Structure formats: structure tokens, C-alpha cells
Amino acid sequence: MQITLVRGDITEQHVDAVVNAANSSLLGGGGVDGAIHRRGGKAILDECRRLRASHYGGGLPTGRAVATTAGELPARWVIHTVGPVYSGSADRSDQLASCYRESLRVADELGAASVAFPAVSAGIYGWPMDDAARIAVGTVRSTPTRVGDVRFVLFTGDALAAFEKALGG
């Protein structure tokens, strides 16, 4: 597997699957989630509504992942995963790692060869970027997968620096 880091906009990535740092409702929100829904268009929201009605009426559980169409994005699929909200008093690292493992599992089921990840939970969910990067890179490296191209797409220079440190470069 090749892991690359990109500073940019995840909605512009030409990959098989883009991972969405979704909220449990699957109905869009802020940050990466809002950007993916806005750029991807109505098809993503329609499919999320169908998933919610048929399987996830109470919301997608934290650490789980599910795929939809990518709509108008330059990807084939969106893999939605719900990251944990950071808590300084409760260790939720396993839930954050599960987001990456589950997303790769779904990517394998889809036959995706390339996947773009954001820094799950490191935005409005408050996870410290250095720790989020360490968990993300470590989990992706240790997860068996057929995905050959994993891209972490970071929106800021600080996020990119944290991922560079975690990657060892």
C-alpha cells in the first residue's frame, strides 16, 4: 500500500472512494461532511436517507462505515464513517481507529483501489490533530486491505505537518 499526504480539498480527489467524516444522522452537517454533501449533490443525500430509513433509523454508530454513491464528486463512492467526539476524560481511541478499519473494509467490499481520507474527528469533534494523525496512520498501516493507494487529504498546513510527523517524514 502506498500512503500519500495531500494538502487540499477532499471533494476534488480523483479516487475510487472518498471517506466522509459524517455525523450519525447521515444527513449532512458541517466541515468535511457538509462539503461532500454540497459538492456531491442530491444523490448522496437521497441514498443516505434510504440507508437511514432501512438500516440506521437511530443513526450510524460511532466507528462504523457505510457506502453510498459519490454523486457529482470525481470519485465512485463515498464511505461515510462516524468518528468519536474527543473527550479528555474517556479514551475513545479504539472508536477512532475503527473508523479507518471499517472504511477500508467497506472499500475492499466495493473493490476500491484508491481511497482518500480526511482527518476524522480532528475538526469540529475536537480530536487533537497530532493524536488523530498518529491513530489514523498507524491504523491504516496495520489494517490488512486490498486498497493500494491511500491518500490523507488535509485542509490546513498544520494538519499536513501532523500527518507528516505521524508518517515519519
The b-or-e profile of 68-101 (16+ CB within 10 A means b, else e) is bbbbebebbbbbbbbbbebeeeeebbebbbbbbb
Choose, from 9, 16, 33, 46, the residue flagged as catalytic.
33
pTM greater than 0.75 (yes/no): yes
The average pLDDT across 115-128 equals 96
% of residues, the chain, pLDDT over 70: 99
Stronger pLDDT, 56 or 149, i.e. the higher one: 149
The average pLDDT across 110-120 equals 98
Q: pLDDT tens-digit profile of 152-168?
A: 999 999 999 999 999 99
What whole-number distance in Å separates Cα of residue 114 and Cα of residue 116?
A: 7
Using an 8 Å Cβ cutoff, are 114 and 17 in contact? Answer: yes
Those residues with Cβ within 8 angstroms of residue 132's Cβ, 6 or more apart along the chain or in another chain:
96, 119, 120, 121, 122, 162
In a 13 Å sphere around the CA of 86, the CA atoms on its Cβ side amount to 15
Average pLDDT of every residue of the chain = 96
Q: Over the Cα atoms of the chain, what is R_g?
A: 14
33 is catalytic: yes
Q: List, in order of start, the domains of the chain with CATH numbers.
A: 2-167 (3.40.220.10)
Q: DSSP assignment, residue 147?
A: -
% of residues, the chain, pLDDT over 90: 91
Instruction: Answer yes or no: is pLDDT of 12 > 60.
Output: yes
What whole-number distance in Å separates Cα of residue 74 and Cα of residue 10?
A: 10
pLDDT of residue 169: 55
Q: pLDDT tens-digit profile of 58-100?
A: 889 999 999 999 999 999 999 999 999 999 889 999 999 999 9
Stronger pLDDT, 29 or 96, i.e. the higher one: 96
- Supply φ then ψ for residue 71, to 5 degrees: 55, -125
